[in-house]
């Protein structure tokens, strides 16, 4: 498995990594989440030796990751570098060969992945002729076509619509189920919390929270209540101890509670002003805010 241990990195006065440690096992998918500037990209670049860390180690099954090991990894960097004038099929074949495949193997894998990402009909198009979204699909194929044991994707969901996000998430989960270790980054905590089970939340260069999304959310004592309300009168919320309205739209009210509260009691206080209640733990973004504020 991949083990990132106690990475430290400074860029001048900026501390980019401050003891960052993360593990990803084969057959699992980890979301590395955190706000802009948290250190996600630097961590990922460190796996590929693209940034020289001040201290710390990156190992695979206990052995330091070197150039040979990296050929069995796949990387989709944040800056999506394709050769603009070369055809889509050419680039994928070329990249497959860089990962040690023969020309015939790489060409066949390129065709297979163009099929998977839905770009077979653009096989002979130049990269520069593709839309942003389609270039992203080519990059995804490039990261995966040599069937890597680890795939690292930097912000793969950014710029994708919800349907494309779900397609991508399913593809990555399917890779994980096939035995690959998958790690991706995102600054959109609420976008990815439904897409992955395991997360590590990074802030200011170190992991501040990690584990199962469901467990992290459930561990918070705070709760959200989504209330379907026929009336626009929410004065009753003031009758709930430690409660406040956080959102109101489309006949729904979202109320944050500082402490879990019996739903029958909420219903009694709301009376006829509310018909349906769904109690949920806070979203990941809230959990992160709690931790960031404590730090």
**Which listed option, Mg ion, ligand ADP, none, makes contact with residue 131 (CB within 5 to 8 Å by class)?**
none
Torsion of CA 37, 139, 97, 125, to 10 degrees: -140
Residue 54's SS3 state is coil
Least separation, in Å, of the C-beta of 41 and Mg ion? 3
180 binds, among Mg ion, ligand ADP, none (CB under 5 to 8 A by kind): none
Sole binder of Mg ion in the list 4, 9, 24, 41 (CB under 5 A): 41
CB nearer to Mg ion: pick between 20 and 227: 20
Task: Pick what 42 binds: Mg ion, ligand ADP, none; C-beta below 5 to 8 Å, kind-dependent.
Answer: ligand ADP
Exposed, middle or buried, 27 (CB in 10 Å: 0-12/13-18/19+)? middle
Give the three-state DSSP class for 101: coil
Pick one of ligand ADP, Mg ion, none as the site partner of residue 14 (Cβ within 5 to 8 A by kind).
ligand ADP
d(CA 250, CA 237): 18
Q: Supply the minimum distance, in Å, between the C-beta of residue 143 and ligand ADP.
A: 17
Q: Least distance (Å) from Mg ion to the CB of residue 5?
A: 21
Give whichever of 40 and 137 is closer to ligand ADP, judged by the CB atom.
Answer: 40
**Strand 29-33 vs strand 198-203: parallel, antiparallel, or unpaired?**
parallel
The encoded tokens of residue 19 equal: 């003891």
93 binds, among ligand ADP, Mg ion, none (CB under 5 to 8 A by kind): none
Q: Contact residues for ligand ADP (CB under 6 A)?
A: 11, 14, 16, 34, 36-42
* Cα separation values, 136 from 104, 124, 129, Å: 24, 16, 13
Q: How far apart are the first and last CA of the chain?
A: 30
Residues in contact with Mg ion by the rule CB under 5 A: 40-41
């Amino acid at each position: 498995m991949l083990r990132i241990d106690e990475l430290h990195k400074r860029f001048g006065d900026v501390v980019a990594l401050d003891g960052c440690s993360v593990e990803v096992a084969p057959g699992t998918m980890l979301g590395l989440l955190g706000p802009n500037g948290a250190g996600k990209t630097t961590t990922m670049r460190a796996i590929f030796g693209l940034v020289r860390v001040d201290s710390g180690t990156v190992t695979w099954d206990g052995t330091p990751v070197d150039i040979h090991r990296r050929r069995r990894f796949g990387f989709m960097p944040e800056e999506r570098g394709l050769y603009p004038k070369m055809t889509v099929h050419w680039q994928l074949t070329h990249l497959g060969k860089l990962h040690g495949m023969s020309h015939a193997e790489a060409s066949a894998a390129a065709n297979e992945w163009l099929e998977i990402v839905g770009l077979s009909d653009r096989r002979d198009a130049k990269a520069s002729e593709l839309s942003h979204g389609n270039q992203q699909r080519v990059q995804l194929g490039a990261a995966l076509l040599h069937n890597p044991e680890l795939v690292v994707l930097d912000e793969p969901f950014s710029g994708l619509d919800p349907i494309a996000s779900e397609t991508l998430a399913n593809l990555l989960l399917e890779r994980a189920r096939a035995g690959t270790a998958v790690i991706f980054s995102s600054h959109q905590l609420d976008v990815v919390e439904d897409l992955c089970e395991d997360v590590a939340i990074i802030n200011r260069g170190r992991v501040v929270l990690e584990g199962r999304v469901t467990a992290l959310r459930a561990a918070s004592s705070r709760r959200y209540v989504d209330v379907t309300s026929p009336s626009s009168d929410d004065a009753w919320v003031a009758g709930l101890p430690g409660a406040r309205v956080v959102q109101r739209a489309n006949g729904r009210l979202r109320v944050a509670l500082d402490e879990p509260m019996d739903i029958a009691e909420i219903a009694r206080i709301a009376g006829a002003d509310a018909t349906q209640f769904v109690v949920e733990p806070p979203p990941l973004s809230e959990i992160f805010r709690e931790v960031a504020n404590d730090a």
